Amino acid sequence: MDYRELDTPALIIDEEKLLENICFMQSYADKNHVNLRPHTKTHKMPYLAKLQEEYGAKGIAVAKVGEAEVMADNGLKDIFIANEIVGGAKLKRIRELAKAVDISFGVDSIPQVSMVEEVFEGADKKAQVLIEIEVGENRSGVIKEEDFINLVNHIKKCRNVHLKGIFSHDGHSYGADNVEHCKELFDESQKRTLFFAKLAEELGCKLETVSIGSTPSSMFDFDIMKGITELRVGTYILMDASQGNAIGTYDRCAATVLTTVISRPTEERVITDVGAKGITMQTRNKGICATKGLGVIKGYKDAYIHSVFDEHAIIYNKELRDKIKIGDKLEIIPNHICPVCNLYDKAYLVSHDKVIKEIPILCRGKLT
């Protein structure tokens, strides 16, 4: 069927753009002689994760234990949880996963590692951990050199924990002023990550993995420095309005939300049938990824969602209002695709305007 015949709201994925994006990032990683480990929290679909591996990715990243469990149940065997996992319940689930798949996860403190050591007592395999390095995003991760040294030395004393590597996320690149500034942030993040990698080796730990990544800094063919072993990026596969703004075009945006016009109450206002529960209320407010409004209307210049209610999108654009009628369908390029995917049970894969596959979003709602 023609995808415009679908009931709405519906999450649409353009197959040609999807494959172009997968090949683009795989080529970038291959050119720089690093492994590509896509962060699948973007799409939450085992089908797409397997596709990324088929095109050359070495395993996947996830954000939650629940996502790891779903991916493992669907045949993904090399999984990194790029997050600090704390608490006995979650750690026991990782211990169980480790029986069947290659699973690793993030740490950044001695108390956390002590929990891991306790839970993995008597396990057939040691817990595989990577220390997160804070590189400028002001989120989690080790900041002080002294704390890193103490953490590494603590792990070395553990019977049940193996230090596999380190990782960082230059998420502050989303707010870079321009491409040159993005490169500066990327280079600074790499240097800081490599500094701690060298420090770990000086402490007697040969690291298997030195992992970096964020989509904005991976779109401009910046050089990846020697010593980095892995590129860990997510949004690139589907892209969104913020990433489109960064690269100057929406042509690479593979995902849209199909929505129906349900009201035209004024000469400028248009209402469609998707709201905060279908596109989120997220924005990017500065830098190369800055967005206007809550989502771009595909095919219309300067048309975007001004505001949303739970189930209504509000658009003010006279040109668009004059061209459409009640019952017409529009496509929205979301500002941030990652939370949008988590709002739908399935996505429709489309090729040349025809629906060719329904893809279940099996990791939807896996928040623990």
Instruction: State the pLDDT at residue 365.
Output: 96
Q: What is the mean pLDDT of the chain?
A: 97
Spatial separation of the C-alpha atoms in residues 259 and 269, rounded to whole Å: 15
What mean pLDDT is predicted for residues 317-332?
Answer: 97
Full set of structural domains in the chain with CATH: 3-10+241-360 (2.40.37.20), 15-237 (3.20.20.10)
For residue range 149-191, what is the model confidence (pLDDT) as tens digits? 999 999 999 999 999 999 999 999 999 999 999 999 999 999 9
Q: Burial-class residue 47 by CB neighbours within 10 Å (0-12, 13-18, 19+).
A: middle
Instruction: State the pLDDT at residue 334.
Output: 98
For residue range 264-286, what is the model confidence (pLDDT) as tens digits? 999 999 999 999 999 998 898 89
In this prediction the pTM is 0.97
Instruction: State the pLDDT at residue 366.
Output: 98
